[in-house]
Amino acid sequence: MSMTVLTVDDSRTMRDMLKLALSEAGYNVIQAEDGIHGLEVLQGSSPDVIITDINMPRMDGFGFIEGVRRDDTYRAVPILVLTTESDAEKKSRARAAGATGWIVKPFDRAKLVDAIRRVAA
């Protein structure tokens, strides 16, 4: 059975790239356009892994991660942050919110799939 990955990113190009990379690696992909949409999509699904951007309109990645972690159903779901940001303060803030890992854009497909396998194991 293939795993399901929820991707949350306001960039259509990034969502398309993620969907292509993850679908080719055998994952089911569900997508959301920002944190608020991500929390809405989450209610009707049970992803094995979540990948989220940080800088998004309406609700950023930090708010989204906190929202996911407030729901017991999703407390154990690994969350990978995929962002252009790389500063230590943002990484520690993401970790404090409940993120599992951090990947810097532009992403390398093999490394992304490897990161998903590691956190979902």
Compute the distance between CA of residue 32 and CA of residue 23 in angstroms, rounded to an integer: 16
Compute the distance between CA of residue 61 and CA of residue 23 in angstroms, rounded to an integer: 23
> Pairing state of beta strands 79-83 and 101-104?
parallel
In this structure, is residue 113 part of a structural domain? Answer: no
In this structure, is residue 58 part of a structural domain? Answer: yes
The number of domains in the chain is 1
Average pLDDT, integer, range 12-16: 96
Supply the range of the domain harboring residue 15.
4-107
Average pLDDT, integer, range 16-39: 97
In this structure, is residue 114 part of a structural domain? Answer: no
44-82 per-residue burial string, b: 16 or more CB within 10 A, e: under 16 = eeebbbbbbbbebeebbbbbbbebbbeeeebeebbbbbb
User: What's the pLDDT tens digit per position in 43-56?
Assistant: 989 999 999 999 99
Query: Smallest Cα–Cα separation from 54: which of 75, 80, 74?
Result: 80
Query: Smallest Cα–Cα separation from 120: which of 46, 64, 65?
Result: 46
Res. 121: pLDDT tops 80: no
The per-residue DSSP string of 11-72 comes to -HHHHHHHHHHHHHTT-EEEEESSHHHHHHHHHT---SEEEE-SS-SSS-HHHHHHHHHHSG
What's the chain's average pLDDT?
94
**Share of residues in the chain with pLDDT > 90 (%):** 88
In this structure, is residue 116 part of a structural domain? Answer: no
- Residue 21 belongs to a domain with what CATH number? 3.40.50.2300
Res. 118: pLDDT tops 90: yes
In this structure, is residue 117 part of a structural domain? Answer: no
User: What's the pLDDT tens digit per position in 65-108?
Assistant: 999 999 999 999 999 999 998 889 999 999 999 999 999 998 89
